[in-house]
Amino acid sequence: MSAMRRIRWRWVIAAAFLAEVAILAVFFLLLFAAMLAGVPEIAAPMSTLDNIDALVSSFVMFFLLTRWAAKRIDSDFVLHGALIGLTGMLLFSIMWIATTGSLAQPLAYVVAHCLKVAGGIAGGLVNRSRVSPGSAVR
């Protein structure tokens, strides 16, 4: 069976979508906390806190959601992780273009996209090690 037929697209899309939702949820929680503290400007979009959140959350959420999706996948964990990260990049870029009308994104967001793929690959690598040594892993 070809690699394209082994890809579990439903889990790739679900994990990428949930990771993007989780990243946005963390951003809005930080913004809400900053508003309660009386300093909403520190968590506003494109602020330093937003950039740090984008970088850290991108790696962590995609790592965790790749681990979650891999429980439902039999093989090709690293490939699935990379696809989850790439799908997340695509989903965010579609949202970005729809809201700003521009493809250009801040450098921190471009780096965050790379961290999404890295998080997905890392999650795939960790899941790859959970398979017993005698089984065939691709």
Contact call for residues 124 and 81 (beta carbons, < 8 A): yes
- With a CB cutoff of 8 Å and minimum separation 6, the contacts of 1 are none
Q: Which domain holds residue 89?
A: 10-128
Q: Is 37 contained in some domain?
A: yes
How many domains is the chain partitioned into structurally? 1
Q: Is 133 contained in some domain?
A: no
Percent of the chain with pLDDT over 70: 90
pLDDT of residue 76: 86
pLDDT in tens, 65-93: 999 998 888 888 999 999 999 999 999 99
- With a CB cutoff of 8 Å and minimum separation 6, the contacts of 12 are 69, 80, 83, 84, 87
Output the CA–CA distances (angstroms, integers) from residue 137 to 49, 62, 119, 124, 133, in the order listed: 40, 21, 20, 12, 9
Q: Is 4 contained in some domain?
A: no
Pick the more confident residue, 25 or 132. Answer: 25
This prediction has a pTM of 0.86
| DSSP SS3 for 75 | coil
